[in-house]
Amino acid sequence: MFKAVLKLLFPSVKGNNKPNYFYYEEDQNTEEEIQQKSLEDEKITRDVKPLRLVSVEEIHQQDFYDFLFGQSSATTQQDELSLYVAEKVEAVLKRPNIIIEAMPVLPASLSKIIDQLSDNNFDTEELLSLIQQEPSIAAKVIELANSSFYNRANKEVTDLKAAFMLLGSNGLIEGVINGFVSKLTPQAQIYFKQYGNKIWQHSLGTGVIAKALIKVSPYKTEAAQGYLIGLICNLGDMIIYQLLMEAFAFVHPDCQPSSYGFKELMQKKSKQLAYHIAKHWQFPQSILDALALQVKVTNASMLSTVFSKRPIACFVYEANIISELMMMLEHKDKTEEEIKEAVTILLYSNEAKQYVERLLEDKVNNE
């Protein structure tokens, strides 16, 4: 997806040549410069105290990235090649349009759905016709119609018309959104593929939970929009991860990267990139405002002042945290007691707290 971007980042690799395994080594400073830099780094290490996480939210975010990618040390012991790639990618993230231009065009069916999110009278026949022109998205809609959540009778659905009859308009919206966003899921080499799958599952979980929270709130008519915002609010993680993996393979495919620098990049840039992508796709202002809030809100105490003005955005913020907590609980990276403690600090709305409470009760009942 990002070949043009990589050539911009690493201009020594030209045309269709094989990746330059030694590009990093060739790009190094002279021995004298390295020694000088080492002395400077030593002085910085002595003079500057290590940065410390200053909030529960930051600790939680670090815990989740550790869950996604494994533990990594935030020390100078990390490998220099990973730092080099991370620095190059961070430089291009400061100019998001370079990345955006390399991404797939927004499908006509998704554009139509976004236009019609608040209109229950949209033309279903026209929408189905558009979806049929995009086979990968049509396949995702049919797949959703055959899922256990929607297909309780377990009767196989094989065409879009039958899928719509089963899913309804909101289910059709979910299928189209899933079909497009899932295509952006990182498809890296096998060593990294499990991480890309986790990112997708987290994005999907955030959308599902956002919809569930909004459905039991006074704003239930906006559940479909909440699902869309929840699904794409972590799009930045997908794109940054894919770009990092492609960049690493491009420069030195025989090495395994350290993940600390990558986690730091995602933590700093993910939500901003998701906003820029949605803006490029000309999403409605209400969706852009909700995504912008994901960048600005850094802790639950801020939600009390913005909930009355941006309730959907706040529910999405909480859904994102719940999805992270539930994934860590499922994989035994958090205990139920730790989840309960986190909920009291990280969440604000009664809808969100009660949702987690019900999930924990169901878990106990099913054991």
pLDDT tens digits in sequence order for the chain, 367 residues long: 667 776 776 665 444 444 443 444 444 444 444 345 444 444 433 444 444 445 788 888 888 888 887 776 554 445 566 677 777 777 777 777 787 777 777 777 677 766 765 566 667 777 788 788 777 778 888 888 888 878 788 888 888 888 888 887 777 777 777 777 777 766 655 545 667 778 888 988 999 999 999 999 999 988 888 988 998 898 888 888 877 777 777 776 665 555 677 777 788 888 988 898 888 888 888 889 999 999 998 888 899 899 989 999 999 999 999 999 999 999 888 999 999 999 999 999 999 999 999 999 988 887 6
277 with 239: CB under 8 angstroms?
yes
| Both tokens assigned to 70 | 């494994």
- Return d(Cα 135, Cα 97) in angstroms, integer: 28
- What is the reported pLDDT for 177? 77
- Return d(Cα 23, Cα 250) in angstroms, integer: 9
Neighbouring CB atoms inside 10 A of 81's CB total: 17
Q: What is the pLDDT of residues 258-283, one digit of tens each?
A: 567 777 778 888 898 889 888 888 88
Neighbouring CB atoms inside 10 A of 333's CB total: 14
222 with 314: CB under 8 angstroms?
no
- Return d(Cα 182, Cα 204) in angstroms, integer: 9
Is the pTM higher than 0.85? no
- Return d(Cα 190, Cα 207) in angstroms, integer: 26
63 with 333: CB under 8 angstroms?
yes
Tell me the HSE value of 175 on the side-chain side, using a 13 A CA sphere.
30
- Identify which of 315, 341, 317 has the alpha carbon closest to the alpha carbon of residue 328: 341
- Terminal alpha carbon distance of the chain: 44
Please, is 246 exposed, middle or buried when counting C-beta atoms within 10 Å of its C-beta (0-12, 13-18, 19+)? buried
Q: What is the pLDDT of residues 108-140, one digit of tens each?
A: 767 776 676 556 666 777 778 878 877 777 888
| Both tokens assigned to 129 | 């016709």
* Long-range pairs for 166-169: beta carbons < 8 A, 24 or more residues apart: 167/141, 169/120, 169/122, 169/124, 169/224
